[in-house]
Structure 1
Amino acid sequence: MAIPIALIDAFASAPFEGNQAAVCLLEEKKPEEWMRKVAAELNVSETAFLVKAEEGYHLRWFTPTAEAELSSEATLAAAHFLYERGLLQPQATARFHTRSGPLLARKRESGIQLDFPAEPARQAEAPEELIQGLGLIPRFVGHNRLGYLVEVDSETTVRDLKPDLSLIRGLPALMVMVTSRGRDYDFVSRVFVPANSMKEDSVTGTAHCALAPYWQRRLRKDEMLAYQASSRGGQLRLSLDQQRVRMTGDAVTVMTGWFHG
């Protein structure tokens, strides 16, 4: 059976920007091992697997090596896929049933808006491996279940940073988020994933679930424009409401095809 598949750049306004994600639309649920093999074959940051449900779609995400608990970029790509193919009308809300709970996406004039739980980081003592690995003295270090949030002195420091990932690989962290105020944006960031083979994430909305509440407090703003300054780069429009982060981004389909397996 041929399965429709698309390669989509999420949090991108043009091809070859943002974060790569694949979307597979399934007619029925597939075994976990099969999805793992497909994700490994596609070998992009995350692959989203969609199955139509009574209200919305069941959604699971896989990296090339493991299932992910949450993926904003693959969720954005999945919503873009449904809207672009006419499976959802522009005014309809995309409803996803996931292992992390229900997630919603809505089409806006400025892109597709996701609604995710906030993940505030609490101030924490910086481990020596983090200081040595980044090669700098941070202004602030916070920690949450995602990892470490590190504020540095300037956007130039963020952009020029060349961390020694071998020193931070053993930290209890899924990611290390390095951030500062921006020149043309409210704040900029880069996100390192030391335990992952890709080492640096191109653009990840999940990290902004921690970055947004941090900069909300620092800047006293509920709406912000953020930029993740990786080599591919990507822009996110953020708004906060109580314990939710709404992030809006564009997406671009760069390739479509069929998977025969």
Structure 2
Amino acid sequence: MQLEIFQVDAFSAEPFGGNPAAVIPLEHWLPDQVLQRIAEENNLSETAYFVRNGEGFDLRWFTPTVEVDLCGHATLASAYVLFEQLGEPAQVLRFNTRSGELRVTRGDDGLLAMDFPAKQPAAAEMPAGLLEALGLHQALALYRSDDYVVVIEDPLLLDALQPDFVALSRYDVRGIAVTAAGRGFDFVTRWFGPRVGVNEDPVTGSAHTSLAPIWAERLGKQRLTCEQGGARKGQLHCEVPGNGRVIISGRAALYLRGTVFV
């Protein structure tokens, strides 16, 4: 069996930036074990698969080790493939997912806008050892949703972080985001997810369903500019309209188009 595969750099206008994702269009679903093995072989933070379902698409995401409930950058990459590589004429894509219906709108300026459900992170007590595992001495606040969100004061500390990934994998959350205001953006972030097989994700769209509401409240604004990453970075625009949703927008660039043989 031969499957078409695309590798797309999401949240970047050019290749070699943002977050790479593999996208594989399917005519019908393959066994879960096959989907997981392909994702493991791709060895990217996410491999997305979609199957047309009426006027929309069923969409699933796999890390090299597990299927996940929500992935922003691979959703953006899937929309880019449909719009720019496969000639999908619709202006709005509707994806059926484990997190409900997700919509992606193609803007005139080339931005792809994803409409995601907002998370409502709750303030939490700092668990023992978390700051030490991150290589930090202090934090302004900690929130919890799917992830721990550690808010720090100095954005310049982010690039120097060298976490203990074994220690971070012991915390019962999807991942750990470390975030700060500044550096030319409303906020900047790094995200670590060793528990789901991704030590560091360059740009995590789904994490911004928590990050954007936190920063919208802290900064008192609905529209936010964002950057995420360490050595490799990507840029996002977030809007928190107050209706329980977060609009996450970005660009994408094609790196590879090929064939998988299974």
TM-score by length of 1: 0.95
**Any unmatched runs of 5+ in structure 2?**
none
- Mapped pair 1:62 → 2:24: no
How far apart are the structure 2 equivalents of 1:197 and 1:46? 10
- Using the alignment, how far apart are the partners of 2:147 and 2:172 within structure 1? 7
Note the aligned Cα RMSD (angstroms): 1.4
The corresponding residue for 2:127 is 127
Shift of 1:128: 1.6
Structure 1: segments with no counterpart, 5+ residues: none
TM-score by length of 2: 0.94
CA contact (8 A) 1:203 1:230 kept: no
Instruction: State the shift of 1:12 in Å.
Output: 1.2
Aligned partner of 2:214 in structure 1 is 214
Could you tell me how far apart the structure 2 residues matched to 1:168 and 1:248 are?
Answer: 29
Identity across matched positions, percent: 37
**Matched residue, 1:98:** 97
Residue 71 of structure 1 aligns with an amino acid whose one-letter code is: C
My pick for the range that moved more, 211-220 or 25-34, is 25-34
Aligned position for 2:152: 152
| 2:65–2:196 CA contact under 8 A, matched in 1 | no
Q: In structure 2, do the counterparts of structure 1 residues 31 and 167 end up closer, same or farther at CA, with 3 Å as the change threshold? A: closer
- Work out the CA distance in 2 between the residues paired with 1:63 and 1:197: 7
Q: Is the 8 A contact 2:158 2:230 kept in 1?
A: no
- CA drift of 1:43 comes to 1.4
Deviates more, 1:232-241 or 1:195-204: 195-204
| 1:174 matched residue in structure 2 | 174
Contact 2:116 2:246 in 1 (8 A): yes
C-alpha distance after superposition, 1:176-232 (max 9, x if no partner): 111111121001111111324431111001111111000001110000100003211
Residue aligning to 1:142: 143
Contact 2:63 2:198 in 1 (8 A): no
Deviations 1:63-101 (A, max 9, x none): 111111111111111000000124312x52111111221
Separation in 1, partners of 2:197, 2:211:
23
Matched residue count:
259
Is the 1:132–1:167 contact (alpha carbons within 8 Å) kept by the matching residues of 2? no
Is the 2:63–2:196 contact (alpha carbons within 8 Å) kept by the matching residues of 1?
no
What do residues 140-185 of structure 1 show as CA deviations (whole Å, max 9, x unaligned)?
11111x1211111111012222222333321121111111111210
